[in-house]
Structure 1
Amino acid sequence: MDASIPDEALARLPFWVTPPGETDGFLITVGILLVLILLGFGALYFTIQAIPDRMAAGAHKVQMQLVGVLGLISLFTLNNAFWIAAILIAAVPLHEIFPLQRESETPDA
């Protein structure tokens, strides 16, 4: 019994079928594409994750630290509530809502 494939059958095979003993170019292409897509989505995820920190840049130190801690908690726990809280805290200037008065600024009674 002859186990070889006739030339007419080989001509009708799809392009992704690799003959025995040759390098599978389609598999390599798909593997490289998969790695690039995963790296792209990871970069996009970390860019979106850094939005609250960028919004809070230039704010008071306490506000920046609070936004940074909430961002890290949301990153490690994958809980979106912390990220939304960080966005809200970064968007609203806390020193206007909770004014910090020093002892020298308090009126004498």
Structure 2
Amino acid sequence: MNYSISDEAMARLPFWVTAPGETDGFLIIVGLVLVAVLLSFGALYFTVQAIPDRMAAGSHKVQMQLVGVLGLISLFTLNNAFWIAAILIAAVPLHEIFPLKTELDISETNDA
């Protein structure tokens, strides 16, 4: 059985129905929008993921490395606890939590 659609029937079809043998423009538009949305969400995800690294920039080398490693672990494991730990470590300087080295430096200068 060979079914064919007359020109009158094609004129009454809605705009999203494509004639046989023609390119489906709606599918192309939806595909392009989907790719754009996925790329924008990916860019947003990586921007948010880099917040701890930006916060730790300019601090001590050990603190920057620790924040970077925690950020990388959270990126690959999709575990938010590592990312939150990286934010907390980046927010508070390590020398304020562990002031032992500065106390040793002060005692050495007083002895000399």
TM-score, structure 2 length as denominator?
Answer: 0.86
Q: Superposed, which structure 2 residues align to 1:63-82 within 5 Å?
A: 63-82=63-82
Greater helix percent: which structure?
2
Could you tell me how far apart the structure 2 residues matched to 1:72 and 1:2 are? 60
Cα offset for 1:102? 7.5
Q: Superposed, which structure 2 residues align to 1:83-98 within 5 Å?
A: 83-98=83-98
Work out whether 1:42 is the aligned partner of 2:36.
no
Provide structure 2 residue ranges, at least 5 long, that are not aligned to the other structure: none
1:69-102 Cα distance to aligned partner (Å, 9 max, x none) = 0000000100000000000000011111101248
Could you tell me how far apart the structure 1 residues matched to 2:50 and 2:2 are? 64
Q: Superposed, which structure 2 residues align to 1:91-106 within 5 Å?
A: 91-99=91-99, 100-101=101-102, 105-106=106-107
RMSD, aligned CA: 1.9
Could you tell me how far apart the structure 2 residues matched to 1:45 and 1:2 are? 51
